[in-house]
Amino acid sequence: MSVASLLILSLCVPGTVERSPVATVQAFNAAYDARDIAAARAVLAPDAVVRDGAGETTGAVVLDNYVGYVFKVEPPYVATRLKLISTADLVAQTTNFTGGGQDPLSTLVVYRVSGGCIVEMASNLSAPE
């Protein structure tokens, strides 16, 4: 199997994975904590709509930011999940982040999950510059 084929297989395509919305967000959290970009790609759809304090982008751009910056920061960002609530296809989660040479950050992220993939994500934080 080619590298391109493996990359395509690792992308999250809604409807190809059976996972509850909460399990999907927990898989994304685990991928983030492990700095595992392949696992993150298997959960966050590349065409997901992602909104934060800086505006709107796509899941693919967020994942590129993880590879190019977030997963390389030392000391690493450490996420402490505080609360998680869900209803139907929506999951809301509060998280505290430490590390990255910044003061602790608190955030609320709301995810919309479809077919085992995160297809929409909104946060009250802006991506780091």
The CATH number of the domain where 23 resides is what?
3.10.450.50
- For residue 37, being part of any structural domain is answered with yes
What's the pLDDT tens digit per position in 40-76? 999 999 999 999 988 999 999 999 999 988 888 878 8
Categorize the per-residue pLDDT at 19 as very low, low, confident or very high, splitting at 50, 70 and 90: very high
Categorize the per-residue pLDDT at 3 as very low, low, confident or very high, splitting at 50, 70 and 90: very low
Which is nearest to 121 in space by CA: 34, 31, 28, 19?
28
Total count of domains within the chain: 1
Categorize the per-residue pLDDT at 91 as very low, low, confident or very high, splitting at 50, 70 and 90: very high
Q: What is the 3-state secondary structure (H, E, C) of 64-91?
A: HHHHHCHHHCCCCCEEEEEEEEEECCEE
- For residue 129, being part of any structural domain is answered with no
What is the pTM for the complete model shown?
A: 0.86
- For residue 76, being part of any structural domain is answered with yes
CA 48 to chain centre: 10
- Whether cis (ω within 30° of 0) applies to the bond prior to 75 is yes
Reading the block at residue 29, the tokens are 């959290």
- For residue 36, being part of any structural domain is answered with yes
